[in-house]
Structure 1
Amino acid sequence: MQSLKIGNVTLTWVSGGVTNLDGGAMFGVVPKPLWSRKYPANENNQIELPTDPILIQFDGKNLLVESGLGSGKLTEKQLRNFGVTKESELDASLEKIGLTPKDIDYVLMTHLHFDHAGGLTKLVNGEYVSTFPNAQIIASKIEWDEMRQPNIRSKNTYWKENWEAVQTQVVTFEETWSLGPIQMFHTGGHSNGHSILIIEDGGETAIHMADLMATHAHQNALWVMAYDDYPMDSIRAKEKWLPYALEKNAWFTFYHDAFYRAVKWGPDHKIAESIKREV
């Protein structure tokens, strides 16, 4: 279990599954000779993308950032198409820390695409039930509204299996949400309701850009995904928050990165400090 301390706040990565998606889609219009130097692809042009939630602990509270891929919910076709090599092992990860899903107080959802929201529910006796029955599930109002009424493009990733059983637990916000040292900010971009997280405590800062910066290789403001519904909004959000975080010497944390849990970039935009992902 890998952890990071931000003041009195502890961040611990748990096992939420592993996907392998098309590298070209993950880097949009960026030519493969450029992105593949930073993030290599396999023989099928896929890149490895874990889906590992971050457990945040402070003042006796347990918060989870994203919910993982879930387990036992995807069809054989979906497992193949999404290059799933491992499903969620969330229960086992939490058990190592002395917790169960019932101990989670909040689940902070940057957005509700299937690879982030799949772990919100689980199958019990053929019915979907909440994985985190005692948690408030936090998401932007725009995201929650689209989850339930997706458009022709987004219906491929917003699935009723991931929201119907937890709808009474969902708490939405317009522009910002906060709890102690944690703040969520609505950004749009990757999805219309996409949000990021900032943690500031004891003079230290961590920023979770979620799918605006899915991996360390997406640092360049112009390197955005073909999956982004509103790419110019992604670019604007990165241009706003990257300088803010760099000025504060912040840790950038990742949900999808196969190589790093978190990095700090120096003034030369090269990695100055890092926590490498252990497999």
Structure 2
Amino acid sequence: METLQVGRATLTWLNGGVNFLDGGAMFGVVPKALWSKKYPHNEKNQIELRTDPILLQIDGKNFIIDSGMGNEKLTEKQLRNFGVLEESSVEKSLSQLGLSLEDIDAVLMTHLHFDHACGLTKPVGDTYEPVFMNATIYTSAVEWDEMRNPNIRSANTYWKINWEPIVGQVQTFENELEIVDGLKMIHTSGHSDGHCILVFEDAQDCFIHMADIMPTHAHQNKLWALAYDDYPVSSVHQKEKWMDIGYKKQAWYTFYHDAYLRAIKYDETGKRIDSIERKRYEYK
């Protein structure tokens, strides 16, 4: 498992699963001739996307950023359509670090689309139960409201089985919430109306988790928004804001979806100056 130290924070990438989605959808109106130079694709025009939660340890607390693809939640049709070749093994990843699901203090949900939220619950008999039984689950109030009352478009990604079992664990916020000293969840909208990013600052050290506003390193261009974005103009403006801030701070940008890089750092001009590669393997 890859790790990154940023001031007081230790980040470790867990195994949350993988899917393959259409490259055109992931890069919106950007021509394939451009995006294909930045990120590999297969013969079906699909790109590999991880769904790997990040274990974030600060001041003796264990946090998880998003929850992975989950297990035994998707139908055969969904597995095929979403290109899921591997489901979650978060519990196994934690055990290799000497931790259990019970040791997680909070889950920091950037948003609640199925590929981020399926790992919050698990099937038990004819019902579903929470995975992180001792954790507070943080998300924006806007996201939580839409999760429970999806519209005709978002009903395909906001599922009852991912929210009904965790109602008692969820805490929401409006614009910004400080989880611990220096760690903030910030509501941005964009990818979804309730989408959030995470920002951690400790003296000169900083990381910014842009979630699905910048899901991979290939989405660095501020104008490259996803076709999946509900509010692409907001995504562009928020990316512009937080890329400018991060460039000046030489912050680390961390990824949940990137199959090639776990994190990347840029200088003030936007040039890559450091990165952490993901250890890759073949799917069977």
**Per the shorter chain, which TM-score range?**
over 0.9
- Is contact 1:208-1:252 (8 Å) kept? yes
Letter aligned with residue 118 of structure 1:
C
Deviations 1:43-86 (A, max 9, x none): 11100000000001122110000000001111110000000010
TM-score by length of 2: 0.97
266-275 or 85-94: bigger deviation:
266-275
Q: Structure 2 matches for 1:171-190, cutoff 5 A?
A: 171-178=171-178, 179-190=180-191
For 1:58 and 1:109, how far apart are their aligned partners in 2? 17
Counting only pairs closer than 5 Å after superposition, residues 211-250 of structure 1 correspond to structure 2 as: 211-250=212-251
Trace 1:62-77 onto structure 2 (pairs within 5 A): 62-77=62-77
d(CA) in 2 for partners of 1:192 and 1:61? 29
Matches within 5 A, 1:1-279: 1-178=1-178, 179-279=180-280
Distance 1:9 1:265 in 2: 19
d(CA) in 2 for partners of 1:91, 1:193? 28
For the 8 Å contact 2:51–2:69, the answer to whether it is kept is: yes
The two structures, once aligned, show a CA RMSD in angstroms of 0.8
Partner SS, residue 83 of structure 1: coil
Normalised by the length of structure 1, the TM-score is: 0.99
Give CA deviations for 1:128-156 in whole Å, capped at 9, x if unaligned. Answer: 00000100000000000000000111000
CA distance in 1, matches of 2:235, 2:198: 15
Structure 2 distance, partners of 1:197, 1:44, is 33
Structure 1: gaps (5+ residues): none
> What residue identity is the alignment partner of 2:58?
F
Q: 2: distance between equivalents of 1:45 and 1:160?
A: 31
Q: Distance in 2 between matches of 1:127 and 1:98?
A: 29
Q: Structure 1 runs of 4+ off > 4 angstroms?
A: none
Q: Is the 8 A contact 2:190 2:213 kept in 1?
A: yes
CA distance in 2, matches of 1:210, 1:271: 19
What is the CA distance between 1:202 and its match in structure 2?
3.9
Cα contact 1:188–1:195 (8 A) shared by 2: yes
**CA distance in 2: counterparts of 1:202 and 1:11, whole angstroms:** 17
Structure-2 separation of matches of 1:203 and 1:219: 23
Contact 1:206 1:253 in 2 (8 A): yes
Partners of 2:70 and 2:38 in 1: how far apart? Answer: 28
Structure 2 gap ranges (5+): none
C-alpha contact (below 8 Å) 1:8/1:202 kept by paired residues: no
CA contact (8 A) 1:186 1:196 kept: yes
Per the alignment, in what secondary structure is the counterpart of residue 98 of structure 1? coil
Give 1:180 shift.
1.8
For residues 159 and 78 of structure 1, the distance between their equivalents in structure 2, rounded to whole angstroms, comes to: 13
Give the distance between the partners of 1:29 and 1:11, measured in 2 at CA.
33
Secondary structure at the aligned position of 1:19 is classed as strand
Q: How far apart, in 2, do the equivalents of 1:265 and 1:258 lie?
A: 19
In 2, distance between residues paired with 1:189 and 1:2? 29
The AA in structure 2 aligned to 1:273 is D
Aligned length: 279
SS of match in other structure, 2:143: helix
Residue identity over aligned pairs, in percent, reads: 60
